[in-house]
Amino acid sequence: MKKLLLATAATLAIAGGASAQGMDKVKACFVYVGPIGDGGWTFQHDQGRLAVIEEFGDRVDASTYQESVPEGADAERVLTQMALSGCNIIFTTSFGYMDQTNNVAAKFPNVKFEHATGYKRDHANVSTYDARFYEGRAVMGTIAGHMTESNKIGYIGSFPIPEVIQGINSSFIAARKVNPDVTMSVVWAYTWFDPAKEADAAKALIEQGVDVILQHTDSTAPLAEAAKTEGVIGFGQASDMTEFKPSPRVSSIIDNWAPYYIERIGALLDGTYEQKATWAGIAEGEVEIGEITDAVPAEVKAAAEAVRDAIVGGQHPFTGPLNKQDGSAWLAEGETPEDGDLAGMNFYVEGITGSIPQ
Amino acid sequence: MDLGGINPAVLIASLMVASVPIMLAALGELVVEKAGVLNLGVEGMMIIGAVMGFAVAVNTGSPLAGFLGGAAGGAILSLIFALLTQYLLANQVATGLALTLFGLGLSSLIGQGYVGIRPPLTGAVPLGPLADIPVVGRILFRHDWMVYGSLVMVAATWAVLKFTRIGLILRAVGENHEAAHALGYKVRRIRVLAICFGGAMAGLGGAYISLIRVPQWTDGITSGAGWIALAIVVFASWKPWRVLLGAYLFGGITVLQLNLQAAGARIPVEYLSMSPYLITILVLVIMSSGRGRIAAAAPASLGKNFHASR
Amino acid sequence: MLRLEKRASPSRAWGMATPVLAVVLTMIAGGIMFAILGKNPVEAIRTIFWDPLFNPQFASYSRPQLLVKAGPLILIAVGLSLGFRAGIWNIGAEGQYIIGAITGAAVGLAFYPMGGWFIFPLMVIAGAFGGFLWAMIPAVLRTVFRTNEILVSLLLVYVAQSLLSSMALGALRNPQGGGFPGSRNLSQYPAAANPELIAGTGMHWGVVASFIAVTFAYILLQRHMLGFSIRLAGQAPRAARFAGVSPTRLVILCLGISGALAGLAGLFEVTGPAGQISIDFASGYGFTAIIVAFLGRLNPVGILLAGLLMALTYIGGELAQFMLGLPAAAIQAFQGMLLFFLLAVDLLSNYRIRIGRAQ
């Protein structure tokens, strides 16, 4: 009997390859780039933290978090202090913490580090996770293509980085599919969060005749601006932004980090934790499509849900034939891009006017 | 009447709205500086005004009460500055910066329960047929009452400073506090009142952001508007009408660059977003060169503390 | 009735006692705020002021971090204090800090991946020069056109921030960074890195430079003719003019020195603790340094202490946030309070409080 147990343990250790045994209690810590009160990005990460507490109760101490940690030297210090304070797993929830996360991970090999939206995993105890927001954008784009009467869609971008460009392309492709006359105007706000500027950007778009606004900035200001003009609609970004239901907010893309956080902490508890790189989308529940309100006709809602379900079923939002903006071929018929290429996307697809600022 | 796809009437109408907060805050700061006090805490007072205005408006359901609450919030915060600089003779630059730090923190504490709530709406002033006049109606007669209120404040500030006894005393205190004191004016009391007025105006500007312009409460909602207001005061060389001009120029360029992008103009965005600052510097240089007008227009006692030794 | 009477010269005794008094007052007021927020005030205060220095769990790490955090603040504040003494208001150190980091990093990245001892010194020169040039804009505009330097230097901060994001997204973007914004990590490029000089002390070249700057400024103000001119220009501008102090020269010098030091601080930060040019590289050191300069009463030694105290509240504040769950905003408000009290009690060293009417 004893031998058998030993043998099982040995197989487990080989199969698991990482932390061999589970833990009785896990201290999970979170580093946020903004205040929880931002109502968007950081708010959603904190919702994930609360879901962890809900799920595990006494077995997990997830009471430790820090808001508004600047990216750079301060992040490295906060991470080190957290590791010193006895955190077993630390979630660093902004791209700008990438190098700091890896630096600190080198010093604390027994602490697990989870870095959101990054790609560096220099040490065995660093994992990365990200969400396929562009999948959600395809659903929004479908609604936008159907709903626009002026055939002009506006997009408020934050910074010209791959994640944002993916969203612009994905929503445009989806909109064109259902409405060949659609055009898209992109305004770069050069900020993730500046309510007044986002409101101005939305206003500028509306004045240009845009009647559907998509945004990749984090405040609800564009929705509030849309609410001032009859017939203009928009979408919740990062969080559900329910206060603008049923219109102008007709649906939303919700970053739902709860399943991932629960999965990872659960794995640490039961000893199955391994280093990995996760890029999850709608199917895994990491990108959620918020309720599509009655401000949208039933058939549009059905079309949007069909797109969503197709993506869950494996349909890639970027499926060829697709050309780049300059007309050169990007994807052949039926072809889909590699994740690596997607992660570095730096061009518009054919049909979008304007250029990406360099 | 289109300019590169942009309708100028619409552009002017929206820049009038965009510039209200900075105009109000700048007017307040102008009065403060005219009294010889430099309060760099405008950003802090604005954001306290934004959160207080929002909280009061949500709880009472009345935007008007909200604006009063915002003004009161800004004024109360400015009293800390007044106490420190006028009674405890602390350095004004440092105190102002500390006020901004404190205001940002405090506003976020107060605002914790107000994230994700919609405030009561402030409608446009019903001006009936005036609003339907082509072009002019669009530009002038479709705004909320605060837009008109801010214009009235510009005129009022100008008139009070130029024509009334209060204005004269205020300027005397700002130009030469020793002399004003010798003439029997209560330098300290006048300055405290001016600081309070500045706080109230900044609070009003902040409340405009959280109640009308955005309208919502989020941490850090003023995002630097207070600093721009400070810039406009100097840009305006301490003249109320030029505050109007400066606020419109500043608001206008911000709105214009976003409109140009929306209209699909091919412009390097990151350089365009610098343009309001560069143009302000340029205008400043033009205005101050030649006869050195700006330097001459600054209140002579600006930033200096007053202590009646005799 | 209470009455203030100006002391002939600031009281040394009160000069020492007032900061302590201010900290005690802040502890009381802050404690009340923490209690209102439902936290144990004693524990909160202990976490902020005591734990970073003496808690066995953290102190060996956070004590050296005090130097890392205080280094750039002190370096910038020393430069600013010279101008502030002379009545020259450089409010835009944040911009000079950013530009110094950009120019310094650009020089380093131009040599990538070459080795060579000369690269880092070249970057240091480029960083200082970048900050200097950026400060020369308000300096020249003021001396030639009499344009207000407070406004120009402040406006240039926003321009520098726009430049920073365009650099992080464009010219200096890491070609191997998968399209994400941000430059290569300079702290991982040995020829350009600014590492800890002695392991576990937090000492990097920036900290060394800030100590040198403090010493240098002290000597300058006490012994050198320029220091005398600066003090005279601040206290009695007319007398200074009669004494042959050229205002133009003073403006250029003061803005130039403070710009160069801010640029240096940026360079040391980007090559060391921060590591790279990124959109969020600017973290407000330039503005905080203004407060530090005044807390230190524009005195180099005072600035050194004030910088360390500010750093303590930052690091202790971080501990309080994640150990006790205090909101970041409460820490910000707490720092604001500390500044208010420090500024308020300063009165006692410059004035005597008398009871009764004036004679």
pLDDT digits over C256-288, tens only? 999 999 999 999 999 988 888 888 888 788 888
Subunits with at least 3 CB pairs below 8 A relative to chain B? A, C
Task: Provide the pLDDT confidence category of residue B5 given band limits of 50, 70 and 90.
Answer: low
Question: Looking at the 3D structure of chain A, how many domains does it have?
Answer: 2
Q: Determine which of A144-153, A185-194, A284-293, C62-71 has the lowest per-residue pLDDT on average.
A: A185-194
User: How many CB pairs (< 8 A) connect A and B?
Assistant: 113
Percentage of residues in chain B with pLDDT exceeding 90? 41
On whether residue A191 sits in a domain, the answer given is yes
Task: Provide the pLDDT confidence category of residue A127 given band limits of 50, 70 and 90.
Answer: very high
Query: Above 60 in pLDDT, residue C161?
Result: yes
CB contact under 8 A, C283 and A70: yes
User: Are A173 and A217 members of one domain?
Assistant: yes
- Comparing B269 with B77, the larger pLDDT belongs to B77
User: Is A195 at the interface with chain B, CB within 8 A?
Assistant: yes
Count of C-beta atoms within a 10 Å radius of residue C12:
9
Rounded to the nearest integer, the mean pLDDT of chain B is 85
User: Are A272 and A158 members of one domain?
Assistant: no
User: Is C323 at the interface with chain A, CB within 8 A?
Assistant: yes
On whether residue A106 sits in a domain, the answer given is yes
| Structural tokens at position B205 | 């500007």
Q: What is the pLDDT of residue A19?
A: 45
On whether residue A71 sits in a domain, the answer given is yes
Selected for mutation to probe chain B from C290, C339, C352 (highest B CB count within 10 Å) is C339
Could you identify the residue written with the tokens 């017939």? A231
Average pLDDT (A152-159) is 91
Among C82, C105, C67, CA closest to C263: C105
SS3 A209: coil
User: Are A73 and A90 members of one domain?
Assistant: yes
Among C336, A8, A356, A110, CA closest to B96: C336
Task: Provide the pLDDT confidence category of residue C2 given band limits of 50, 70 and 90.
Answer: low
Which of B234, B292, B310 lies nearest to residue C151, judging by beta carbons? B234
Average pLDDT (A116-124) is 90
CB contact under 8 A, C182 and A67: no
The number of residues in chain B equals 310
CATH code, residues B8-297: 1.10.3470
CB contact under 8 A, B213 and A199: yes
Q: What is the pLDDT of residue A239?
A: 82
Q: At what angle do helices B92-110 and B63-82 cross, to 10 degrees?
A: 140
Task: Provide the pLDDT confidence category of residue C148 given band limits of 50, 70 and 90.
Answer: confident
Residues 6+ apart with CB under 8 A from B296: none
Q: What is the pLDDT of residue A358?
A: 66
Which of A220, A244, A357 lies nearest to residue B269, judging by beta carbons? A357
CB contact under 8 A, B213 and A208: no
Average pLDDT (B54-68) is 94
User: Is B62 at the interface with chain A, CB within 8 A?
Assistant: no
> CA-nearest residue of chain A to B107?
A37
Q: What is the pLDDT of residue B4?
A: 56
Backbone angles phi, psi at A46, to 5 degrees: -70, -35
Distance from CA of B263 to the nearest CA of A (A): 6
Average pLDDT (C155-165) is 88
Q: What is the pLDDT of residue A5?
A: 39
Sheet bearing A212-215, strands edge to edge: A183-188, A152-157, A212-215, A233-238, A249-255, A287-290
Query: Above 60 in pLDDT, residue C230?
Result: yes
CB contact under 8 A, C151 and B271: no
Q: What is the pLDDT of residue A89?
A: 95
Does residue C334 contact residue B105 with C-beta atoms inside 8 Å? yes
A contacts of B255 (beta carbons < 8 Å): 200, 203-204
Q: Identify any residues that bridge with A184 across adjacent strands, giving them in sequence order.
A: A153
Distance from CA of B179 to the nearest CA of C (A): 18
Average pLDDT (A318-336) is 91
Q: What is the pLDDT of residue B293?
A: 52
Which of C178, C283, C322 lies nearest to residue A65, judging by beta carbons? C322
Which of A67, A81, A85 lies nearest to residue C328, judging by beta carbons? A67
Query: Above 90 in pLDDT, residue B222?
Result: no
Domain ranges of chain B: 8-297
User: Is A63 at the interface with chain C, CB within 8 A?
Assistant: yes
Q: Hey, which of A44-53, A199-208, A232-241 has the most confident mean pLDDT?
A: A44-53
Q: What is the pLDDT of residues A196-209, one digit of tens each?
A: 888 888 988 998 88
Query: Above 50 in pLDDT, residue A16?
Result: no
User: Are A71 and A140 members of one domain?
Assistant: no
Average pLDDT (B275-284) is 78
What is the predicted ipTM?
A: 0.84
- Comparing A169 with C113, the larger pLDDT belongs to A169
Does residue C278 contact residue A159 with C-beta atoms inside 8 Å? no
Amino acid at residue number B157: T
Listed by number, the residues of chain B in 194-233 with a beta carbon closer than 8 Å to a beta carbon of chain A are 209, 213-216, 218-223, 225
Q: Determine which of A13-27, B213-227, C291-305 has the lowest per-residue pLDDT on average.
A: A13-27
Element (H, E) at A142: helix A133-147
Q: Determine which of A56-65, B126-135, C202-211 has the lowest per-residue pLDDT on average.
A: B126-135
Among A53, A123, A101, A124, CA closest to A273: A124
User: Are A240 and A266 members of one domain?
Assistant: no
CB contact under 8 A, C278 and A161: no
Distance from CA of A351 to the nearest CA of B (A): 13
User: Is B111 at the interface with chain A, CB within 8 A?
Assistant: yes
Give the span between the Cα atoms of B140 and B159, in whole angstroms: 23
Does residue B46 contact residue B207 with C-beta atoms inside 8 Å? no
Selected for mutation to probe chain C from B80, B269, B281, B287 (highest C CB count within 10 Å) is B281
Query: Above 70 in pLDDT, residue C352?
Result: yes
Does residue A171 contact residue A348 with C-beta atoms inside 8 Å? no
Average pLDDT (A40-57) is 92
SS3 A21: coil
Among C161, C146, C91, C262, CA closest to B40: C91
Q: What is the pLDDT of residues C289-343, one digit of tens each?
A: 988 898 888 889 999 999 999 999 999 988 888 888 888 888 888 888 888 998 8
CB contact under 8 A, C145 and B271: no
> CA-nearest residue of chain B to C353?
B88
Query: Above 50 in pLDDT, residue A62?
Result: yes
Listed by number, the residues of chain C in 130-189 with a beta carbon closer than 8 Å to a beta carbon of chain A are 162, 165-166, 169-170, 178-182, 185, 187-188
Give the span between the Cα atoms of B258 and B272, in whole angstroms: 9
- Of A280, A314, A334, which closes a domain? A280
CB contact under 8 A, C151 and B231: yes
Using DSSP bridges, classify how beta strands C351-355 and C2-6 pair: parallel, antiparallel or unpaired: antiparallel
Average pLDDT (A80-101) is 91
A contacts of B220 (beta carbons < 8 Å): 35, 193
Element (H, E) at A204: helix A195-207
Selected for mutation to probe chain A from C280, C283, C323, C324 (highest A CB count within 10 Å) is C280
Q: What is the pLDDT of residue B84?
A: 93
Q: What is the pLDDT of residue C238?
A: 78
Give the span between the Cα atoms of C92 and C90, in whole angstroms: 5
CB contact under 8 A, B219 and A37: yes
Query: Above 70 in pLDDT, residue B36?
Result: yes
Distance from CA of C359 to the nearest CA of B (A): 9
SS3 A122: coil
CB contact under 8 A, C61 and A119: no
Which of C273, C325, C327 lies nearest to residue A72, judging by beta carbons? C273
Percentage of residues in chain A with pLDDT exceeding 90? 57
Task: Provide the pLDDT confidence category of residue B82 given band limits of 50, 70 and 90.
Answer: very high
Q: What is the pLDDT of residue C145?
A: 84
User: Are A249 and A265 members of one domain?
Assistant: no
| Structural tokens at position C208 | 């060394």
Subunits with at least 3 CB pairs below 8 A relative to chain A? B, C
> CA-nearest residue of chain B to C288?
B97
Residues 6+ apart with CB under 8 A from B61: B120
Q: What is the pLDDT of residue C357?
A: 58
- Comparing B231 with C37, the larger pLDDT belongs to C37
Query: Above 70 in pLDDT, residue A170?
Result: yes
Query: Above 50 in pLDDT, residue A3?
Result: no
φ/ψ region of C297 (left if φ > 0, alpha if ψ in -120 to 50, else beta) reads left
Distance from CA of C199 to the nearest CA of B (A): 34
Give the span between the Cα atoms of C192 and C205, in whole angstroms: 12
Query: Above 90 in pLDDT, residue A220?
Result: no
Query: Above 70 in pLDDT, residue A20?
Result: no
Selected for mutation to probe chain B from C141, C144, C145, C165 (highest B CB count within 10 Å) is C145
Q: What is the pLDDT of residue B308?
A: 65
Query: Above 60 in pLDDT, residue A146?
Result: yes
A contacts of B219 (beta carbons < 8 Å): 34-35, 37-38
Element (H, E) at A5: helix A2-16
Give the span between the Cα atoms of A245 and A229, in whole angstroms: 15
Query: Above 50 in pLDDT, residue A4?
Result: no
Q: What is the pLDDT of residue B297?
A: 64
Greatest Cα pair distance in chain A = 78
Count of C-beta atoms within a 10 Å radius of residue C291:
26
Give the span between the Cα atoms of B171 and B238, in whole angstroms: 11
Q: What is the pLDDT of residues C77-121, one digit of tens each?
A: 999 999 988 888 888 999 999 999 999 999 999 988 888 889 999
User: Is B59 at the interface with chain A, CB within 8 A?
Assistant: no
Task: Provide the pLDDT confidence category of residue B309 given band limits of 50, 70 and 90.
Answer: low
CB contact under 8 A, C295 and B271: no
Q: Determine which of A180-194, A304-318, B282-296 has the lowest per-residue pLDDT on average.
A: B282-296
B contacts of A34 (beta carbons < 8 Å): 219
Does residue A25 contact residue A86 with C-beta atoms inside 8 Å? no
DSSP string over chain B: --BTTB-HHHHHHHHHHHTHHHHHHHHHHHHHHHTT---TTHHHHHHHHHHHHHHHHHHHS-HHHHHHHHHHHHHHHHHHHHIIIIIS---HHHHHHHHHHHHHHHHHHHGGGGTT-PPPP-PBP--GGGGGSTTHHHHHSS-BHHHHHHHHHHHHHHHHHHHSHHHHHHHHHHH-HHHHHHTT--HHHHHHHHHHHHHHHHHHHHHHIIIIIS-S--TTTTTTHHHHHHHHHHHTTT-HHHHHHHHHHHHHHHHHHHHHHHTT----HHHHTTHHHHHHHHHHHHHHTTT-HHHHHS-TTTT-------
Which of B116, B261, B270 lies nearest to residue A187, judging by beta carbons? B261
Percentage of residues in chain C with pLDDT exceeding 70? 98
Average pLDDT (B67-92) is 93
User: Are A158 and A292 members of one domain?
Assistant: yes
Using DSSP bridges, classify how beta strands A329-331 and C2-6 pair: parallel, antiparallel or unpaired: unpaired
User: Are A205 and A178 members of one domain?
Assistant: yes
SS3 assignment for chain C: CEEEEECCCCCHHHHHHHHHHHHHHHHHHHHHHHHHCCCCHHHHHHHHHCHHHHCCCCHHHHHHHHHHHHHHHHHHHHHHHHHHHCCCCCCCHHHHHHHHHHHHHHHHHHHCCCCCCCHHHHHHHHHHHHHHHHHHHHHHHHHHHCCCHHHHHHHHHHHHHHHHHHHHHCCCCCCCCCCCCCCCCHHHCHHHCCCCCCCCCCCCHHHHHHHHHHHHHHHHHHHCHHHHHHHHHHHCHHHHHHCCCCHHHHHHHHHHHHHHHHHHHHHHHHHCCCCCCCCCCCCCHHHHHHHHHHHCCCCHHHHHHHHHHHHHHHHHHHHHHHHHCCCHHHHHHHHHHHHHHHHHHHHHHHEEEEECCCC
User: Are A270 and A300 members of one domain?
Assistant: no
DSSP string over B213-240: IS-S--TTTTTTHHHHHHHHHHHTTT-H
Rounded to the nearest integer, the mean pLDDT of chain C is 87
Give all domains of chain C, ordered by start, each with its CATH number.
58-307 (1.10.3470)
Does residue C70 contact residue C134 with C-beta atoms inside 8 Å? no
- Comparing C189 with A148, the larger pLDDT belongs to A148
Q: Identify any residues that bridge with A213 across adjacent strands, giving them in sequence order.
A: A154, A234
Structural domain for A68, as ranges = 16-132+257-280
Q: What is the pLDDT of residue A134?
A: 93
Listed by number, the residues of chain A in 24-43 with a beta carbon closer than 8 Å to a beta carbon of chain C are 29, 35
Which of C84, C163, C343 lies nearest to residue B98, judging by beta carbons? C343
Give the span between the Cα atoms of A51 and A60, in whole angstroms: 11
Backbone angles phi, psi at B24, to 5 degrees: -60, -50
B contacts of C291 (beta carbons < 8 Å): 94, 97-98, 101
Q: What is the pLDDT of residue A6?
A: 39
Average pLDDT (B23-39) is 94
B contacts of A190 (beta carbons < 8 Å): 269-270, 273
State pTM to two decimals.
Answer: 0.85
Average pLDDT (C240-256) is 86
CB contact under 8 A, A160 and C169: yes
Q: Determine which of A53-67, A100-114, A236-250, B29-43 has the lowest per-residue pLDDT on average.
A: A236-250
User: Are A102 and A187 members of one domain?
Assistant: no
Q: What is the pLDDT of residue A13?
A: 37
Average pLDDT (A295-323) is 92
| Strand ranges for chain A from DSSP E | 26-31, 60-66, 89-92, 112-116, 126-131, 152-157, 183-188, 212-215, 233-238, 249-255, 277-280, 287-290, 322-323, 329-331
> CA-nearest residue of chain A to B216?
A221
CB contact under 8 A, A220 and B116: yes
What is the domain-level CATH number for residue A28? Answer: 3.40.50.2300
